[in-house]
Amino acid sequence: MSDATELPGSARLVLAQGVVHLDPEPAVFDAMLEGWARQQRSRFLNFDATIKPRLSLLKRFAEFSNQYPWQWQAAEVEAFLDHLRARRPTFAVSTARNYQNALRMFCDYVTDERYDWPKVCYDRFGQQPIQILHEWNTITHTSEYEGGPGRRPLTYDEVQQLFDAADDRIDKIRKRGRKGSLAALRDAMVLKTVYAYGLRRQETCGLDLADMRRNAKVPSYGRFGGIFVRYGKASKGGPPKRRLVLTVPEMDWCVDVLEQYWQEVRPAFSPGRHPALWVTERRGRMSLRRLNDAFNNARQDADLPQELDLHSLRHSYVTHLIEFGYPERFVQDQVGHAYASTTAIYTNPRELHQTGEKPQVAWSLGEAEQVRGVYGLAS
């Protein structure tokens, strides 16, 4: 048992010894939360993105059940999820699974004897925590994609409508004599970049000037032969993943967009020595929320379905590259998917074409490797 006391999150490390609490139940619960947070931090999980939301969920569940973890039963968590579904008709299956996984992991933690919580709870309250989530009351993962059916790639016409609306917004602001035309121009350019390189939100906002890359295979693209992504989606407990996204010929119109932004638009914000590519009127880095707003404004002006969001541009990039005839492995590397099955989610022929034509993606292995070599990707 001596080894158990050294584990991050052990009861003896987070619960004050020899202290008589006036209100012991909340004191022990708070210590459990701190212990679990410490255990997760020791695994290098991100606090804001992963640990904090999990702790918030546990507090919500405790408040809903009006019980502490050593009192929880399966019926409480089932009632909790049923309550959430009743309040939010759009409550997603993936969200429910994330909630269930978080609660199950917490129960695994507090029922593990190595952390001493079963003994602490029995000595103080005469009860021990139990696992309340099992195979019969949790969601079975049966489908690769569980998002809403309305969330889909944009068609070519819709992409054009979105960009036209973003460009028109600049003229509308100028004609009204209002401030913001420069920001609107930047917004139009950043949306085109998101699509032309299939970027995620964090990847886009995290770009610096130094992340622009030349491609010796295509010198005509100048400094925009590719974009080095340093803030790619991380695996749990790992650092952000990195990748080089190469400029493909079908998207080379974005080279002129980026060059104009680099030479004319960005300097007009007077960013000084700030390293960020996308900067704001306050000379800071563009935020995730501002990027979302840029898309939402253009989508509304273009009268496109509300189910479409910024991430739909990334889906569109994957879909359109496949339609252009690029090998799926090349597309997978471009967007940073760890598994080909993830890329395949966006390449269902029934979803790709208004004409119903099947995309020509049946490249031989040799042809695929040749394309990777032309665009500067190692095998």
Q: Is the pLDDT of residue 4 over 70?
A: no
User: Which position has the higher pLDDT, 75 or 141?
Assistant: 75
Inter-CA distances, 273 with 269, 279, 371, Å: 12, 11, 38
| Strongest mean pLDDT among 15-24, 148-157, 211-220 | 211-220
* Residues 277, 305, 298, 281, Cα dihedral to 10°: -50
Distance between CA atoms of residues 324 and 7, nearest Å? 53
Cβ-Cβ contacts under 8 Å for 166 (sequence gap 6 or more): 184, 187, 188, 191, 192, 294, 297, 298, 301
Burial of 196 (0-12, 13-18, 19+ CB in 10 A): buried
State mean pLDDT over 338-345.
68
What's residue 379's pLDDT? 36
State the pLDDT confidence band at 139, using cuts at 50, 70 and 90. confident
| Strongest mean pLDDT among 3-12, 64-73, 237-246 | 64-73
Q: Is the pLDDT of residue 362 over 70?
A: no
Cα dihedral 113, 132, 35, 29 sign: negative
Superfamily (CATH H level) for 156-374: Intergrase catalytic core (1.10.443.10)
State mean pLDDT over 26-35.
95
Please state whether the predicted TM-score (pTM) of the whole model is above 0.85.
no
State mean pLDDT over 95-102.
93
Q: Is the pLDDT of residue 34 over 90?
A: yes
Q: Is the pLDDT of residue 356 over 90?
A: no
Range name among 77-91, 306-320, 365-379 with the lowest pLDDT average? 365-379
Distance between CA atoms of residues 368 and 335, nearest Å? 16
| Strongest mean pLDDT among 190-194, 322-326, 350-354 | 190-194
User: Which position has the higher pLDDT, 140 or 3?
Assistant: 140
- 187-203: per-residue pLDDT in tens? 999 999 999 999 999 99
Count CB-CB contacts under 10 A for residue 264. 10
- 294-308: per-residue pLDDT in tens? 999 999 999 999 999
State mean pLDDT over 119-130.
95
